[in-house]
Chains A and B, each alone.
Chain A
Amino acid sequence: QQPVQSPQAVILREGEDAVINCSSSKALYSVHWYRQKHGEAPVFLMILLKGGEQKGHDKISASFNEKKQQSSLYLTASQLSYSGTYFCGTEIRNTGNQFYFGTGTSLTVIP
């Protein structure tokens, strides 16, 4: 029931774009996205409900395809501060909305 993220790791130069994907085998109620920097707690980025696009902060946005149980996180014109591990979190329908974090994607932005 843990969603799978891809890629596992990505290295970008400042200003480049990246896409992180999150895929679940279960029907989803919502998808969350979090970023965790080394030695710190995860920080909430955004939540998506029922196939909507959600504009986040800075140049980070996401989409949620409810039919495919997939979500994608888009990072445009990446900054050094974007470095960290990104997790999606999924609430599964009809399970009392159990919540599972994805496998994580390590993103490193270099100058």
Chain B
Amino acid sequence: GAGVSQSPSNKVTEKGKDVELRCDPISGHTALYWYRQSLGQGLEFLIYFQGNSAPDKSGLPSDRFSAERTGGSVSTLTIQRTQQEDSAVYLCASSLGQGENQPQHFGDGTRLSIL
């Protein structure tokens, strides 16, 4: 389809393992965002990319979290040595640019469960 695609849709893993979450933005969208949604906590901003650059990494909760984007398209969010508090839905969004008139288009998220 033409929307933002995230994979996997669900991921269950053991504490201490590394996980990699993937986001395929809408073609032509230069801005890409990662959020974390925990129950009752709304959306927590993690990081955004303009092209392949990440001007704002301030939302990453710890050094176990990292993200990259290649070719101005696909992005991966990696969580190393996962902890139970990392359990959440991770949402990716993209927009035509970082400009104020551009609404963000969201994927359906990856539901991450750490056992």
Specify whether A and B are partners.
Answer: no
Binding site for B on A (CB under 8 A): none
